[in-house]
Chains A and B, each alone.
Chain A
């Protein structure tokens, strides 16, 4: 049986893993290569590294970080942040990424999804969507909007529609982050995740809000997520992927366990 994936996410800033609450207030959480290796050892099904403050000057630091992190990693490894062109993507693949996550650049230039997919295969293109509900709308889920530039800028695009377009352009997966839930540890946005997951046939990775085992069980059940991503609960030793998966398996969620 295909299992639900538990993905450990490393938000990287200047070569260090950091964690914030609702995209601000960053605190240091350690070395990316060491943390990635630890998560893989502890049963994470996949590692995502996001360069959250990608700048032109930071590219070399990022490529070096990707290279170091990939060296001893034998589970799927996704890298995002600052990939603006197919050339950027190629450098990150060569440094050892298996998949590239594109966010702002894909919104600005949706053709980028097709361009990267043509050279590296659709499975290698993850479209990351930072989503915020519109509390004033009659249906805040349907009206949820896509944000770019690390959550700083609203685009006016609706999340579900953008996910559909990304799929049509050849995205391999959708990484959906709820900005409302991010860093709160109060649970994933199951309604929004289900709305996106039902709208596309490619896997949807839920992100933002992981705090307890029940949150994961909910997002795999009600939220119809294919995978769930978490950062802070792993970094600070609240839970390891292994203990999380053991508990999920006990609840009847299909996970790779023992791992």
Chain B
């Protein structure tokens, strides 16, 4: 059974994420401060909804450093929503807090215009060719979003979505992945993406 370590940093409710991972057969453990568990993790999921401010706790508890080491060891990592935004340098939602900086750019609020912010609901995504996380997900598949900040489209973008302008719906570089939408709330498409993550093999493991 695939073991997954879910990081709880008190940013919203974890129930739906845990339920979806268990539904897919994962052996799920949850930690909010146990660096040893992160040190032994086989896969890490960092969920999170709400304010970027909540990620402050990751630095305070030492989780940031432990995650950095795990990523360097090749452990597959998936950030969801605020968990994806945290992979970037930071977010203008809480400029005083640094993200992990694995991806260089920063997250910004949707520009002011006549369209509503937050972006809430089902929107279509266009996966990039070669994305392992989105393998088998067709162009135009719908997933569920709820957010006011988003990351720009760059070379690491694994899927784009369009709201006011194109933004990164998913990001992926090697073993580090993130999704701005909620795969645990995105029906069969979301479950497929989580399954892809659970099956993701590092080069080293397969040798």
Contact = CB atoms under 8 A, between A and B. Distances in A.
Interface string B173-205: 000000000101111101100000000000000
A3 B51 contact: no
B16 A96 contact: yes
Nearest to B144: A76
Interface in A82-102: 93-98
Contacts of A60: none
Nearest to B124: A1
A122 B81 CA distance: 14
B162 A120 contact: no
B146 interface: yes
A45 B50 contact: no
B118 A202 contact: yes
B191 A74 contact: yes
Contacts of A227: 121
Interface residues of A, number: 34
A123 B49 contact: yes
Contact of B146 (A4, A71, A123, A201): A123
B15 A96 contact: yes
B40 interface: no
A1 B162 contact: yes
Contact of B12 (A5, A77, A124, A259): A124
Nearest to B112: A201
A121 interface: yes
B174 to A, nearest CB: 28
B11 interface: yes
Contacts of B50: 120-124
For chain B, give the interface size range.
35 or more
A51 interface: no
Nearest to A257: B142
B122 A45 contact: yes
A74 B187 contact: yes
Nearest to A122: B50
A124 B13 contact: yes
B120 A203 contact: yes
A203 B116 CA distance: 7
Interface in B4-36: 11-13, 15-16, 19-20, 23
A4 B89 CA distance: 33
Contacts of B119: 2
Contacts of A77: 16
B49 A121 contact: yes
Contacts of A226: 116, 120-121
Contact of B163 (A2, A97, A256): A2
A108 B132 CA distance: 50
Interface of A: 1-5, 40, 45, 70-72, 74-77, 93-98, 120-124, 172-173, 201-203, 226-227, 256, 259
7 contacts: A2-B119, A5-B122, A76-B185, A77-B16, A95-B15, A226-B121, A256-B142
Given A3-B122, A121-B50, 19 more contacts: A1-B162, A2-B119, A74-B20, A74-B185, A74-B188, A74-B190, A76-B144, A96-B16, A120-B49, A121-B11, A122-B50, A122-B118, A123-B147, A124-B12, A172-B118, A203-B120, A226-B121, A256-B122, A259-B142
Interface of B: 11-13, 15-16, 19-20, 23, 49-51, 116-124, 142, 144-147, 162-163, 182, 184-188, 190-191
Please name the 5 residue pairs, one residue from A and one from B, whose CB atoms are nearest each other, closest first.
A121-B50, A123-B146, A93-B13, A121-B49, A256-B142
